[in-house]
Amino acid sequence: MSDQPEGLEQVGPRARIQTELVKLESQKREIWILVVFAAAVLCLGALSFFSPGSFWKSNILHVSFPPQVLFVVMVATVVVALIYVRQDLEIRGLRLANLQQLLSSQENQAASMIDALTNVFTRSLLPDLLQGEIARAERTNRSLALLMCDVNDFKHVNDRHGHLMGDYVLAQVAAILKSCVRGSDYVIRYGGDEFLTLLPETDEKGAEIVRQRIHEKVSDWDRTNRVGDSPISLSAGLYLHVTGQTAEKDVAEADARMYAEKLANKRAAAPADASTLRQ
């Protein structure tokens, strides 16, 4: 039983290929009907040629030509029809091959756009995506916020608990980032343990709300899913696009702010570590 609701039209390349396959199978059945019909006509024609007296009550029908000619015309008509249908099937086969090749190309392209580990966009998509959002922000005079996030002390997680645990942490962080943004926003794995989030039509106040939400959700996750003795936290650098500035400059500014926050966090943690050692 199909899960597809009745009356719901399927769309997309896969649906198109499925429709073409159904049509192709239908035409194959039609060809077999024509083949059977052609075989019957050929049998009747053979009987008419070799035994016209026993097959016909009279050797001439009430037409102006012999019955043998009629059968020849019928057989020729069937042969022509079969040739036409065969050519049509070959054309449809080529169309199906082209559709399947297109679908395969689209699937490969989609795979290159999504990071297999974290299920967010890959960095290869960033140049076109960011440039498009910059053009739209400047055209509509709307804000565009960039949020560069980096997992603090991620190397310690890999070294202490292994790369499989590191991959798990990255996947969880990516899921948290996606849960903190809108459907119109973009989360991109920039590299390693760095993620860049694009927030179109978002001013500094709105972007700061998102940044705080990310910190809170990561902190909540860390309390319930602590990776051994390695606390998981993020440093997040926020930057708003300035009209006329390049995409590369925007990313560099967001990255610089992220590293500034990371450095501030390390400096804040240093006195607490020193006091613990003295005790």
Q: Which of 72-76, 214-218, 260-264 has the highest mean pLDDT?
A: 214-218
Mean pLDDT computed over 159-174: 93
Q: How many CB atoms lie within 10 A of CB 97?
A: 10
Position 140 scores a pLDDT of: 93
Question: Could you give the CA distance from residue 147 to residue 187 in angstroms, rounded to a whole number?
Answer: 9
Instruction: Report how far residue 95's alpha carbon sits from residue 101's, in angstroms, rounded to the nearest whole number.
Output: 10
Which residue, 248, 159, 117, 141, is CA-closest to 200? 141
Q: Is 236 helix (H, G, I), strand (E, B) or coil?
A: strand
**Does 203 participate in catalysis according to the annotation?**
no
What is the rounded CA–CA span in Å between residue 188 and residue 126? 7
Alpha carbons 124 and 113: distance in angstroms, whole number: 7
pLDDT digits (tens, 9 = 90+) for 109-133: 566 688 989 999 999 989 999 999 9
- The CB density around residue 237, as the number of other CB atoms within 10 Å, is 21
Q: Is the pLDDT of residue 276 over 70?
A: no
**Spatial separation of the C-alpha atoms in residues 91 and 270, rounded to whole Å:** 73
Considering 193, 203, 255, 273, which one is annotated as catalytic? Answer: 193
Give whole-number Cα distances, 92 to 18, 21, 74, 115, in Å.
Answer: 13, 9, 27, 36
Instruction: Give the single-character DSSP code of 238.
Output: E
- Per-residue confidence (pLDDT) for residue 239, from 0 to 100: 97
Q: How confident is the model at residue 67, as a pLDDT?
A: 61
Q: What is the pTM for the complete model shown?
A: 0.61
Query: What does the pLDDT read at residue 110?
Result: 60
Residue 6 carries which DSSP code? T
Tell me the longest C-alpha to C-alpha distance in the chain: 125
The whole-number pLDDT of residue 268 equals 80
